[in-house]
Structure formats: C-alpha cells, structure tokens
Amino acid sequence: MNTKTNYQTWIRMNKLLIFLGISLLLLLITLYSVQVYFRVLAGMLALPFLYITFILSYSVYQFSTFGGGFQSKIHHLIVSKVEDGSGKILDIGTGSGSLIIKLAKAFPNSTLTGIDFWGENWEYSKAQCEQNAEIEGVSDRIHFVKASASHLPFQNGEFDVVVSCLTFHEVKDSKNKTEVIKEALRLVKPGGTFVFMDLFMDESTFGKKTELVADLTKHGEIELNDDKLTDILPLPKILRNKKVLGNAMVLSGKKANKAQSR
C-alpha cells in the first residue's frame, strides 16, 4: 500500500498541459514557419495561451505544498471558522480529501461524510480519498459518498456542520447556483454551523452579492457572515486575479433555532 498521501491542487493538470501544448505548437510555428503571415498569426495567437499557461502554472505552484501552500491555508481557514466540530460533519465537494481530513484531525470526536461527483473531467477519485484518509489514520470516522451537490442524499438538518470549498460554481446539473447553496443549508441542523468558500462575487455565476445574501437570509433561518477572502487571508497578486481567487468569498454562520426563526 502507498504510504504517501496524494492531495492534488484545484488546477486540473490535463487543462494545464493542453494550454502548454497549444502554446508550444504556436511558438514552433512562429519560429520555423516559412510563411511570414503564419508566423505573425501564430505569434499573436500564442500570447493569450502563454498567459493562461503562466497563470495556471503559477497557481499550481502557489496552491501546492511545495510552493505557497495556499490550498492548505484556505482549508485551515475554513476549519478555524467551525466553532464546534464534535458532531456530524459534511464536506460538499471533497475532491482528494484534504479539507475533510483536516476537519477529522481537528475534531477527533466527530463523524464525517464527504460527498463528491468525482466526474471524469476531474483528477480526483473516491478511492484516492479513502486511501488518503487511511494513511492519515482517520478512515474509521469518514464515509465517502458519490453524489451531486444539487441533490444531496441526506435528511433535513442531518448535520451539525456543513462545509464546502470551491464547489458550488462547478455544479453542472443546476443552472441556479443559489439553489445549490440552499440545498447545502437544508442539511444544517437548527443551531448548526456552515462554512462555504466559493467565487460568490462572480456575478455571472451567483448574481449580485447583495441579492445572493438577501435571498439566502430572507426567511430569517440563518445568521450569515460574508468575508472577502483577500480581506482575511493575504494572497499573492496573481491569485487575487478574478480568474483565480479574486472573486472568492467565505459565507459562514449558523442555522437559526426554530424558536429564533419564528
């Protein structure tokens, strides 16, 4: 059995390799084509691909443990916002298991469930999560389930804590991402805690922030705090780019007790 954990970054390596390959091909045409027209055209086309390749490569470095470690730092930030993790915890969009394993270590009296769709478009897998959890010594308290975040197979108020990191905007089977957030909130028990980090400031995905917050709180069932990620965690300039984490925000709070919500 492998004794080394495998936590991948949020950047898909196959996507990075595609942009790198296209960039190199265009550069070769620019340098060696006998036709001046093709050389100029290839050079112009190469620029945006080189830019994207650079952004992706730099992000991989900054997110990884051998670089800036910012993926782990963000996960630690989410864990720090969980007030009481002694009960049942749900992690939506588990990926390779990094966040849920950090939660398991931080709260040794908890039982945890990690859900993910683990689609072919991603480089994560349920088996990878299970192996990482076993290596980290917490597999006896974590159960992994394949499911979509738009239709979570759990009862209302089943969990004391629900967390999610950069998942809601990736849900493909629901156009309305606010409804995906509400589906996650459905599972938080009265008095329970939630911590969600996503690109909530991206209006093309979630709409205006003020309208999103108003929609989530209009029934008075949750106490909601919204923090721009760059205000609570210093990030390198390129990670603050809106194409990376510039639109990231942490929504956290509690589900109101039934008596409070009346």
Which pLDDT tens digit goes with each residue over 3-40?
789 898 888 888 899 999 999 999 999 988 878 888 89
> Cβ distance 139 to 147 under 8 Å?
no
Distance in angstroms (rounded) separating the CA atoms of residues 5 and 234: 27
Domain 70-261 has CATH 3.30.830.10: no
> Cβ distance 56 to 128 under 8 Å?
no
Per-residue model confidence as pLDDT tens digits over 220-239? 789 999 999 999 999 999 99
Domain ranges of the chain: 13-63, 70-261
Distance in angstroms (rounded) separating the CA atoms of residues 224 and 190: 14
Number of H helices, E strands in the chain: 10, 7
> Cβ distance 186 to 178 under 8 Å?
no
Amino acid at site 260: Q
